[in-house]
Amino acid sequence: MNSFTKENYSEYKDKLLNAFPQILKSDVQVVSGIIPFAVDDIELCNGETRKLDNLIHPAMLTIQQDGELLKIPYRLYFNEPDTEKESKLSDRQKTILSCIYLRHHNGYLRQRRLEKLIDKSEYWITPYTIQLLGEYVFEILEVLDRHINDKNIDNYKRFVKENPKYFQQTESRMISYWNAYYRRQRFPKLKDYIGYRIVNRIK
């Protein structure tokens, strides 16, 4: 039996609307319309499926952007939308969709969605991409390294000025993951770690 209700849809829709600037409201509404909120069986990273009561983790990342307070979900568990429906979105809407799935629980999916954003430079993308700096998946950091370049580095500097405490926390998480996963084998020196190099580029 599917446990999805209209209340679920309304709640998920509102949370996604609160995760983007108001100027994108109509586009976020369109994107929300193709996300499979009503699916009960969620595919996990190991290929298994599981029924979840809530497809948006209750924890939120609260940030400031151009005077607006945005609350971005820490993790999402939606399956990906139908490819035909996604193909009909505008370029901006496709970018919004990829940003949403950067919060997905599956690291491979996050990496694939980040690759779609490599050449994008809209400022509202920044809160989604910069969060990946504080994660441990090395392959995602490699894609992020290609994304953060001379074309959009000013966006990241601007974001850090608006959210200095958040950036400090992200940097601390980056160092913690380096220490836990990479220090003893691949990168004995922090200065050689890709996450550290990206952080310094932004600073």
3-state secondary structure of 11: helix
| Size (the chain), residues | 203
Predicted model pTM: 0.90
Best CA proximity match to 19, nearest among 131, 113, 136: 131
Task: Give residue-wise pLDDT tens across range 42-88.
Answer: 666 566 666 667 788 889 999 999 999 999 999 998 889 999 999 99
Residue ranges covered by each domain of the chain: 1-93, 117-203
Token pair recorded at residue 94:
């496709």
3-state secondary structure of 41: strand
Task: Give residue-wise pLDDT tens across range 87-140.
Answer: 999 999 999 999 999 999 999 999 999 999 999 999 999 999 999 999 989 999
> What share of the chain in percent tops pLDDT 70?
89
Task: Name which residue leads in pLDDT, 181 or 41.
Answer: 181
